[in-house]
């Protein structure tokens, strides 16, 4: 999961994961776009699905890049920046 994890500063829980809001938006956006492309021959259904899917996908990529070092506690839902993240790439 995480190499250099830290417990939640609010509740002290060890159930910590990287924030995955960007991944959630990507998982919604890509299938919506594909479904919209399949249903493009019905314009009032396909076009809004394509537009919504593109918006979700772009926002998901933005959130994923923005929250690269953000951790979230699974118990209290607290989010904080990972102080132990190594900078060596």
Residue 69 above 80 pLDDT?
Answer: no
Confidence bin at 58 (pLDDT 50/70/90): very high
**Whole-prediction pTM value?**
0.61
pLDDT at 88: 44
Which residues are CB-neighbours of 52 under 8 A, at least 6 positions away?
29, 32, 36
Please compute the mean of the pLDDT values over residues 52-68 and round it to a whole number. Answer: 85
Q: Angle at CA 38, nearest 5°, toward 33 and 44?
A: 80
Residue 2 above 70 pLDDT?
Answer: no
pLDDT at 20: 72
């Amino acid at each position: 999961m995480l190499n250099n994890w830290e417990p939640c500063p609010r509740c002290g829980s060890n159930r910590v994961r990287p924030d995955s809001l960007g991944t959630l938006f990507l998982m919604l956006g890509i299938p919506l776009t594909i479904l919209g492309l399949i249903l493009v021959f019905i314009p009032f259904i396909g076009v809004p699905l394509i537009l919504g899917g593109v918006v979700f996908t772009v926002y998901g990529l933005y959130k994923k890049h923005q929250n690269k070092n953000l951790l979230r506690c699974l118990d209290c839902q607290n989010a904080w920046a990972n102080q132990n993240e190594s900078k060596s790439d």
